[in-house]
Structure 1
C-alpha cells in the first residue's frame, strides 16, 4: 500500500460521503415523521465523516475532492418507502468505499475505516431490516444471498446510486 493508494482511497471515501450527505437530504425530505430522527442521525454521521476526511486529505497536503452540486439518484424518491430504500443504498455505497479504505491503509487509519464500515453496515441493516454477510464486499454479499435464495444471477437488491449498479463498490459516488 503506497501513500498514493491511501490518498486515492481517502478521496473515494470523501466523495462517497459527499454523495451520502446529498442523498440523506433527499431522504429527509420524503421520510415519514417516525423515522426522521433516524434520517437526521444518518445525515449527521455522514457530515461528521465527510468533515474528518476533508481534514485528513488536507493534512496530507492534497486538495479534498469537492462535492458535486447534485447527484443522480438510482430511482425516483417520491415517498417514504423509496426514501428508506435510498437510505439503505447510500449506506451500502459507503460500506463499499470504506471496505476499500480498510484494504488500502494500516494502523489507526485502518481501524477508523473499519469502524466507519461497521457503522454504515449497521445503518443499512436498520433501514433495510436485514443485513448481508459481508458488508462492503458486494460480490461476496451477492453470492451469499444468491446461494441462500437458490437462484442464479443477482440478488433482489435494487441498484445503488451511480453509474455502475452491478458493483456497488466499483464507483463511490452517484453520477452527475
Structure 2
C-alpha cells in the first residue's frame, strides 16, 4: 500500500486502478474499521493476559487502516468511513465470547485482503494484500488458540 510503490495516475488525474480493485480496497478498509471496533469492544471483557496481545493487534489494524486510507486517497478515491457501531455475531459477555468476536473479525479481514489480492493486477497492492493476509492469519491463530477452537489455523484462511 502506501509503504511501497503506489499505483500511478494518468495525466488527467483519473486513477489507473480498475473499479473492481477499488471496491476490494474499500471492503478491506471497512473490515479494518470493524476489526478495530471489535478489538476495542473485546478489551472490556478479555482477561489481562490477553490484553497486551489485543493492544498490539489494535496497533497492527490501525496501521493497516492508515495505509489503505492513504492508498485510496492517493488514487483519488474517498475512503469509506467507519460505522458508529457494528453487530457482533453473538453476544459478548466474557473473555471467551470476546475472543470469538476477534476470531470473527480476523476471519473477515483475511477474506477482505484475499479479495484485494484476487482483484488487483498491481504487484504492490497484491504484495500488501498477501502480507496483510499472513499477519491476520497469525492473529487469527492466536485467538482461535486461546478460545480453544480447532484447528488453530483453518485450512485456506480467507476462504469461506
Shorter chain as normaliser: what TM range? Answer: 0.7 to 0.9
Of residues 79, 90, 115 in structure 1, which corresponds to 2:105?
90
Q: Say yes or no: does 1:134 pair with 2:150.
A: no
Q: How does 1:38-57 map to 2 (within 5 A)?
A: 38-57=53-72
Runs of 4 or more above 2 Å deviation: none
Find 1:115's aligned residue among 115, 131, 140.
131
1:39-85 deviation per Cα after TM superposition (whole angstroms, max 9, x unaligned):
10111111110111111111110110011111111111111111111
1:89 deviates by 1.0
Q: Give 5+ residue unaligned stretches, structure 2.
A: 1-16, 146-151
Give the C-alpha shift of residue 126 in structure 1: 0.8
- The unaligned stretches of length 5 or more in structure 1 are 139-176
How much has 1:88 moved relative to structure 2?
A: 1.0
Q: Whole-Å Cα distance in 1 between the matches of residues 44 and 73 of structure 2?
A: 32
RMSD (CA atoms): 1.3
Q: CA deviation at 1:105?
A: 1.3
The normalised TM-score by structure 1 is 0.76
Q: More helix by proportion, 1 or 2?
A: 1
Aligned to 2:82: 67
